[in-house]
Amino acid sequence: MKEFRGTSLTDLALSGGGVLVTSWAVKADYHWDAGAAMSRYLDGFRDGKIWGVRCPECRRTMVPPRGFCELCFRPIDQWVELQDTGRINTFSISYVNWDASRRRTPEIPAVIEIDGASPGMSILHKMGEAGDTLEEIQARLRLGTPVQAVWKPRESREGSITDIEYFRPIG
């Protein structure tokens, strides 16, 4: 095995002044341009509306909106106001937080097919009012269960997907 020349650093060298050490807090503010289609979609949440777009070629109504159809490669500029209701395409019952800590009551991420959009067109969100125990949740939620968005109060909305607090089962 080849030997590399040099001097290994020790903890004492780093903490005891043996080598030059500097530290600073990184301040990495940034702005992100959502683009024309996504910006109008996000602005719609302030008004409690979910916007989609319709392709002039294949006539699919898509959500989230996009600037061109990925099947026809046609530019899209026809906007369609969708319902704030839909059906569960799929969901998961999670007892683990993002930092791997355990949850007492589960989080329920769900893919929601939005009413007014073409079949299969859906957004990722989460379910609420679905029960606290596994038995309650399994009794209330199924694939295809109709759901409705629960919006934050208007004054709290900020043009974000989180302006919808969650979807709740209806009917």
From the CB of 36, what's the least distance to Zn ion, in Å? 18
Confirm or reject binding of residue 56 to Zn ion (CB under 5 A). no
Among 37, 50, 53, 69, binds Zn ion (CB under 5 A): 69
Instruction: Out of 55, 62, 110, 112, name the contact with Zn ion by CB under 5 A.
Output: 55
Comparing CB distances to Zn ion, the nearer of 9 and 58 is 58
How many Cα neighbours within 13 Å face the side chain of 107?
Answer: 12
Contacts of 155 (CB under 8 A, 6+ apart): none
| Helix spans in the chain (H) | 11-15, 36-46, 134-140
Distance of alpha carbon 65 from alpha carbon 56, whole angstroms: 14
Q: Which of 71, 124, 143, 170 binds Zn ion (CB under 5 A)?
A: 71
Least CB distance from residue 69 to Zn ion, whole Å? 3
How far is the C-alpha of 2 from the C-alpha of 140, rounded, in Å?
Answer: 64
- Chain residues in the site for Zn ion (CB under 5 A): 55, 57-58, 69, 71-72
